Amino acid sequence: MRAILKYYVLAILAATAALANAQEPADSLQAAVREKADAFFFDGVSKRLAGNHAEAFQLYLHTIDICPKHVGANYDISSYYHLMGEDSLAMRSLQTAAEADPNNYWVRQALVQLYVSEDKTDNAIRELEGLAKAYPNNSQLLFMLEELYLKKEDYAKTIETLDRIELLEGKNKDISTEKFRIYSLMKDEQKAFAEMRELAEEYPNDLRYQVLIGDFYLDEGKFDEAMKVYSQIQQTDPYNINLLMSLAKYYEQTNQQQLYIDNLTKIVTNEALPDDTRLKLMQGIAAQNLFGQVNDTTKVTGLFDKIMELPQETTDMGELYARYLVSSDMSKQKIKPVLYKILDIDPEADIARNQLLLYAIEEDNDEDVMRLCKTAVDYASKNPMYYYYLSVCHLRHSDYQEAIDANRKGLQCLEDDSNIDMIVNMYTIMGDCHHRLGNNQMAFECYDSCLLYRPDDALVLNNYAYYLALENRQLDKAEKMAAKAIQLTKDKPNINYVDTYAWVLFMLSRYEEAKKYIDQGIEMTGGKPSKNDATLLEHAGDIYFKCGDRSQAVKFWQQAKTLGSSSKLLEKKIKKRKYIE
């Protein structure tokens, strides 16, 4: 519809000069009046060509006021009415122009286009029939007329018009194929076969016409006749794609499922089959399997697997296969090889990489996370997520400098501050890594950056406070941060935050307060402290010692040792039964 309207507007622009002289008979208007109307009309044309459409529109209206049947003005103003959405006025203007100059090709063709766009098929046919009679050698008009007859399902008129086109242009494949189709719709088997046989005889090397004859038999339910035709073609070209597709349809309709699958396999693995055709075919097969009555994923995945063994120019087939597997609730182990195949084809296929990354994170598989993220950053990906997860893996493997470097590059990929979570996480990891490398000032700067973006991040507040306490610096600042972390998590207390606050209080020599919080921490272990609680128990011993309970302090230190504490001073504390700084 849109193409028709575009053609209509272009036709109007092309025909103005031809319309200028196409006016009413001389005796219907006085020469002076017509001359005045023409002057306004040509002034309007000039304004239109200059882009002054509002002025042109008014001049055309004025022309029509003077001469209501002025062909050029009615023709041109119709395009403005159409663009304004006033198609009834556009149609009336063109009808007036056509009545004033019945032999004007441009006016009547534009009227036909408008009738078609308004779905006034009978009116369009009537106009086209008149035009085709006036211009009998114009095959373009006949093609338009044929389409409209077909739309009306007037098959006899459609065939008649195709015969007229054939007389003008000679017999060709397209016209004969269309006649075959129309005769098939008319259930005129004899004439349909005659058309196709003529084509098959004229083009013996083009087997699609013979295939069409077999298809006609198949559609009529004449399975034996269809197979006879297909068998003859098989002897000449057993891998003809049109034949294979028709055979697949034949086997499906005759409930020969294995032969149906065998033919589908031949089709989809045929290297001569265009990639877009193969993709559309598999889209249909996948959809039918997912949403049809028969659900046989084994056969469909078998087809996909064979296709994926072929050279792949794009990731389209792999992506379709992956979507099918996900929709079929297949296991990750079945989906992952397809996703890796997609990455082999296109190492920058982030959709596949992201899904694989998700699987690797769910499986806690650092090796896969590292491999996926490193490949992405090697291709200079601008996605900071890959740098972040790469840094997490480096941190977990104690590769602290590599983790810092990855996060620095990731931060450079963040063009703005919209992803606050990512920024804070990156600075947090960098802070922890700097601390473990002994770069405490750099660590504190990273934590300050975190708190600039998120002042209420309990984890950052806790770590920052603890590292300050270990350095015995800015303890007042450390106490406020540790207390804030406790307050932020009061609904879900964190044993590490409690331990940090107790330790900061200890460093401030507020031993009784420290004891209160370290007791809370010990209580949170439920009487069954784990290896992760070794530092908590050592801190408990230090605090209890300062509170004057040497015996309990030694017990806590011994528990910490049993749990595998790595503290260098712990053994001395136990041996000397006293706190050692």
Sorted by where each starts, the structural domains of the chain and their CATH numbers stand as 1-119 (1.25.40.10)
- Residue 22 predicted with pLDDT over 60: no
How distant, in Å, are the alpha carbons of 206, 433, 505 from that of 444? 78, 11, 20
| Higher-confidence position of 345 and 182 | 345
Rounded mean pLDDT, 195-206? 73
Q: At residue 195, does pLDDT exceed 80?
A: no
Q: Give the mean model confidence (pLDDT) for residues 464-482.
A: 94
Helix, strand, coil in percent for the chain, rounding step 5 = 75, 0, 25
pLDDT grade for 138, boundaries at 50, 70 and 90 = confident
163 confidence band (pLDDT: 50, 70, 90): confident
Tens of pLDDT, residues 420-443: 999 999 999 999 999 999 999 999
* pLDDT greater than 80 at residue 560: yes
Query: Comparing 8 with 359, which gets the higher pLDDT?
Result: 359
Contact 197, 229 (CB under 8 A): no
Per the CB < 8 A criterion, the answer to whether 504 and 482 are in contact is: yes
CB atoms within 10 A of CB 468: 24
- Return d(Cα 41, Cα 76) in angstroms, integer: 9
Instruction: Tokens for 25, please give them.
Output: 């008979």
Separation CA 404–CA 441 (nearest Å): 15
Greater pLDDT, 100 or 174: 100
C-alpha neighbours within 13 Å on the C-beta side of residue 420: 8
Tens digit of each residue's pLDDT (9 = 90 or more) over 258-315 = 888 887 888 888 887 788 888 888 887 888 778 765 567 888 898 899 999 988 889 9
Phi, psi of 272 (to 5 degrees): -80, -15
Mean pLDDT of 342-367: 92
CA distance 23 to 388: 77
232-236, 241-245, 419-423, 564-568: segment of lowest average pLDDT = 241-245
Given a contact cutoff of 8 angstroms between Cβ atoms, the answer to whether 48 and 115 are in contact is no
| pTM > 0.85 | no
Count H helices, E strands: the chain?
A: 32, 0
Q: How far is CA 7 from the centre of its chain?
A: 32
Rounded distance between C-alpha atoms, residue 162 and residue 142, angstroms: 8
pLDDT at residue number 295: 63
pLDDT above 60 (res 369): yes
3-class DSSP state of 258: helix
Q: Which helix (H) or strand (E) holds 177?
A: helix 173-185
pLDDT, position 2:
26
Inform me whether the pLDDT recorded for 173 exceeds 90.
Answer: no
Q: What is the rounded CA–CA span in Å between residue 9 and residue 357?
A: 54
> What does the pLDDT read at residue 402?
95
Ranges 144-153, 270-279, 401-410, 485-494: which has the least confidence: 270-279
Of 302, 361, 372, whose CA–CA distance to 332 is shortest? 361
Mean pLDDT of the chain: 86
Q: Judging by beta carbons within 10 Å of its beta carbon (0-12, 13-18, 19+), is residue 153 exposed, middle or buried?
A: exposed
Task: Scan for tokens 């949403």, then name that residue.
Answer: 291
Question: Could you tell me if 114 and 8 are in contact, meaning their C-beta atoms sit under 8 angstroms apart?
Answer: yes
- The predicted model gives 336-347 an average pLDDT of 93
pLDDT attached to residue 490: 92
Q: What's the full length of the chain, in residues?
A: 581
Closest CA to 392 of 358, 351, 433: 433
In whole angstroms, how far apart are CA 121 and each of 7, 92, 135, 152?
18, 16, 20, 8
The alpha carbons of the chain give a radius of gyration, in whole angstroms, of 42
Structure confidence at residue 3 (pLDDT): 31
Cα-based distances in Å from 4 to 11, 71, 102, 133, 290: 10, 22, 22, 22, 38
Residue 136 has pLDDT above 50, yes or no: yes
Report the alpha-carbon distance of residue 230 to residue 139 in Å, rounded: 36
Which range, 80-94, 209-223, 255-269, is most confident?
80-94
Q: Pick the range with the lowest mean pLDDT from 34-38, 224-228, 446-450.
A: 34-38
Reported confidence tier of residue 346, pLDDT bands at 50, 70, 90:
very high
